[in-house]
Structure 1
Amino acid sequence: MCNVGGIDRILRVIVGLAVLSLVFIGPQTPWGWLGLIPLVTGAFSFCPLYPLLGIKTCATKD
């Protein structure tokens, strides 16, 4: 089941990696682990919040 589309998926992975990098470089804060959320949702093309909000950025198949 896909509900995260192309650009949305790429942005999630980029933002996830950027936030996750805060664990290893920069201020080295544990809050950087929150970057795993957009990273995983981008990797699996599924966001559990989207169905609750009625959002789908993935292209539909005819």
Structure 2
Amino acid sequence: MQANIGTLDRAMRIIAGLILIACTLLGFIGAWGWIGVVFVATGALRFCPAYLPFGMSTCKLPEQK
């Protein structure tokens, strides 16, 4: 499993996930807010399986010499 999530993407996923989870726990939104767990998990693991079919990656490319 190779990382395909860059630093900014990772931070945005974790923040959005935590906000969704908090809103669900506080009763602002319904049970669909638990999807935030997926955002936090993909951010923590730096891997998004949804990127694979499209060959996407937000990681920086290694510098070529």
Indicate the RMSD between aligned Cα atoms, in angstroms.
1.4
Between Structure 1 and Structure 2, how many residues are aligned? 62
Residue of structure 2 equivalent to 1:41: 42
Residue of structure 2 equivalent to 1:19: 20
* Structure 2 residue ranges without an equivalent (≥5): none
Larger Rg: 2
Q: Give the TM-score normalised by structure 1.
A: 0.86
Indicate the percent of aligned positions where both proteins have the same amino acid: 37
Tell me the secondary structure at the aligned position of residue 17 of structure 2. helix
Q: Give the TM-score normalised by structure 2.
A: 0.83
